[in-house]
Amino acid sequence: MRYAVFGNPIAHSKSPQIHAAFAAEFGLPGFQYDKLLAPLDGFGTAVREFVAAGGAGCNVTVPFKEEAFRLAEVLSARARAAGAVNTLMVQADGSLFGDNTDGAGLVADLLRHVPLQGKRLLLLGAGGAARGALLPLLAEQPALLLIANRTVARARALSEDVVQPWLAATGLPAELLPVHGVATFDFLIGGVPLEVTGGASPVRALGKRGVQFDVVINATSASLGGEAIPMAPDAFAADAVAYDMMYGKDETTFLAQARAAGVATRVDGLGMLVGQAAEAFTLWTGHRPDVAPVLASLRAAL
């Protein structure tokens, strides 16, 4: 079976070694996974040619996830919510199924460190990665979810497009609905007003200074440029977990910030990368791989 990852650039991708390790775990000798550079204006054609040549599925990375979303003929609920597709699969009738496994990969990695049910979550950022994380995070039934972003309109769009429809569709009694709001980073340094849009007792839970968070997830690209998030150190609760979707050999700016704030459990996004791959592999092959040894070997090779 032929699989691949499409991106531009693609040389840096670790996906082939991750999937090769997964395939080895189950002894799938016919499993082949390549990295393929698609032209910036030729992603759809590249995927169609790959499928015509026997490709059974592929991953999709920057900058093609939105285009893959439009290319897919059938979409999973989480891909629809994300507005982006990172995993395509050719179905029995030849149609292309589009999924988004990034958020599930994030949640699986987080759950290795902390349960999310009943926790107060702060999601920093409102770009594609934040959007993709929302449904899998909400499915864990946190007590509180605040989306904070530099541009509050984008946080509001996430709320309106994903969170509020999810809250409306759950059918949970009002007192069990997670409290939910959006804010700018200003809220995190001094109680500037925020918008609370859901939950049973939002004013008590959120509408005051000094709210603390058990899990803080950085889904901004601020760490890429070495920029810190404007955030008061006491916004981290005691025993909080700080998670940066970015990863690298060196500590990210956000995780250094969390360390300075006294946060003991700090996790970067390498496990999310392996987790999203594991979800895709499971979708394609029906086998759920063990992520821990693959993560350890990737970490050692950083």
Residues annotated as catalytic (active site), given as ranges:
65
* Closer CB to ligand NDP, 22 or 205, in the complex: 22
C-alpha 47/C-alpha 187 separation (Å) is: 44
221: contact with ligand NDP by CB under 6 A: yes
Size of the site for ligand NDP (CB under 6 A): 25
128: contact with ligand NDP by CB under 6 A: yes
302: contact with ligand NDP by CB under 6 A: no
For ligand NDP, which stretch binds (CB under 6 A), given 41-49, 67-75, 172-180, 220-228? 220-228
Q: How far is the CB of 129 from ligand NDP (least distance, A)?
A: 3
Which residue among 67, 102, 195, 279 contacts ligand NDP (CB under 6 A)? 102
* Closer CB to ligand NDP, 98 or 205, in the complex: 98
> Residue with the closest Cβ to ligand NDP?
127
* Closer CB to ligand NDP, 177 or 235, in the complex: 235
103: contact with ligand NDP by CB under 6 A: no
Residues that bind ligand NDP (CB under 6 A): 102, 125-130, 149-151, 154, 219-222, 224-225, 227, 245-247, 269, 272-273, 276
